[in-house]
Amino acid sequence: MFLASVRACAGATGDLLRTATGDPTRPTAIDGMAVGDDRVYVPVIHDAWGAPGPSTELAVDPAGGCGAPTCAPLWTAALGPGPANRPTVGGGVACLTS
């Protein structure tokens, strides 16, 4: 099983600031991400290599972290079957293609 994760590092030092991980009960993959409006937008592909086929959700994390080493998303949105491409973010709106 593959568990995708996102790690945020400090730009000046490279120190690890926080980690966000996918669902440990499902194989997951990440196809790009975007940062905007103090958020990190991550399209997470669940069941990427299994039946009944991939489904994608958008997970949104605070860009500055949550104060803990591992953070849960602020919110998620189901995007439906199939993978989604890297989001574009601006003005509080995330746009993705699938």
- List the chain domain ranges: 5-95
Q: Give residues with Cβ within 8 angstroms of 71, minimum separation 6.
A: 18, 19, 20, 61, 62, 65
Count Cβ atoms within 10 A of the Cβ of residue 41 and give its class: 0-12 exposed, 13-18 middle, 19 or more buried.
Answer: buried
pTM: 0.72
pLDDT for 1 equals: 40
Of 22, 11, 16, 32, which is closest to residue 69 (Cα–Cα)?
16
Mean pLDDT by 10 residues, the chain (98 residues): 63 72 66 82 73 74 78 84 79 82
pLDDT for 79 equals: 83
Give Cα 58 distance to the centre of its chain. Answer: 6
